[in-house]
Amino acid sequence: MPGRLMAAQPIRVRWRARWRLHVRRLHVRLSPAAGRAFAMRCGAALCLLFAAGASADTAPKADSDAVPKSVSCPDLASPQGTGEHGMDERETGGHGPLEQALVTTVSPAGDLVLADGTVLRLAGLAGGGAGAEVVWRAWLIRRVAGRDIVFAASGPPDRYGRRPVFARDIAVPGGAAAPVASLQQALLGEGLALARPEASVLGCLPALLEAEASARRARRGLWRRLPLDARNVAAIRAEQGRFTIITGRILDVGKTSRVDYLNFGRVWRQDMTGRIEAPGRIALEARGFAPGDLAGRRVTLRGTVFESGGPAVAIRRAGQLDLDDDVGDDVGGYMGGYMGEGRGRARPTGDE
């Protein structure tokens, strides 16, 4: 009836099969026929308007893991007994308060099991390959099983209920004058573990990498076989599903709207590739250069290997990629460069 307040039917708009918009209360003072005409005329405008808003909402944002947090390594000096159960209530460099507890055993995964059943995971560490966890566990059993430790939580429990922590044993080797080092630093220094950039440990990553570097220079433990050469595809593929460290020279960089591909070989369908995802791209830009600047550079990657038309490592956090050299005169001898928008993981020109 003309002049009567009529409610238009719900309008469902599908935009590129990604967003559905439901307009449930669109009231107009029109006849049913005029209302339908109004809806048809405004449909395209509504689609564009809401799609633009959806695009803004789904645009890549700075991931909390992309840049280091403003926290430092916790001060693991012995608790002063100011809190209950020997707990020091002060905050420790952005981490939780210090706690002291008895370790009864070490799990097969290398986690510390306390007397009350709480399981502690040593934050910022990775085993580094098959069999490495066995040696890691044996070292921890000798060091802390049946003894008290001091620890500070670095984040909430994971889905398995494990609390990520920085920890040290009470009896510091070398006596009271020895520096207070975490169990993480001790394991890294022995070459029994690898530093893994995690969201909650990025502020402490330099100290972990420094401890790791001493084992790397001395070729201790895992460093007898690491880092893996990016050209050794078979060795990298054998580490699928495990955290490892890979080094090599990037021949070219491919780009899509969401991912940058660091190609270490000419046949990307079978050679090693590093995938820089949106948070990793933001982290690189925060350090002053774009992924395309990496063409011809020698780098070290650390991450979990997966298969993607060849072995690959996803780079999502600061600290997963390190430059090993400066751009030299030999860069001109490498084909490729920044492949440009839409080319993807393109091979260098002329490689068929």
Task: Report d(CA 46, CA 55) in Å as an integer.
Answer: 14
What are the tens digits of pLDDT across the range 191-210?
A: 999 999 998 888 889 999 99
Residue located via tokens 């510390």 = 112
- Positive or negative, the CA dihedral 148, 204, 211, 291 is positive
**Nearest CA among 75, 77, 79 for reference residue 94:** 75
* Band (224; pLDDT cuts 50, 70, 90): very high
Task: Report d(CA 122, CA 126) in Å as an integer.
Answer: 9
Q: 84-224 adopts what CATH topology?
A: OB fold (Dihydrolipoamide Acetyltransferase, E2P) (2.40.50)
- Does 157 or 64 have the greater pLDDT score? 157
**C-alpha angle 30/31/36, rounded to 5°?**
85
The ranges assigned to domains in the chain are: 6-58, 84-224, 228-341
Whether 84-224 and 228-341 share one fold: the answer is yes
C-beta separation of 222 from 125 below 8 A? no
What pLDDT, on a 0 to 100 scale, did the predictor assign at position 67? 36
CATH of domain 228-341: 2.40.50.140
The answer, yes or no, to whether residue 83 has pLDDT greater than 90, is no
* Band (32; pLDDT cuts 50, 70, 90): low
One-letter-per-residue 3-state SS of 23-49: ECCCEECCCHHHHHHHHHHHHHHHHHH
Which pTM does this prediction carry? Answer: 0.70
* Band (123; pLDDT cuts 50, 70, 90): very high
The answer, yes or no, to whether residue 57 has pLDDT greater than 90, is no
C-beta separation of 198 from 216 below 8 A? no
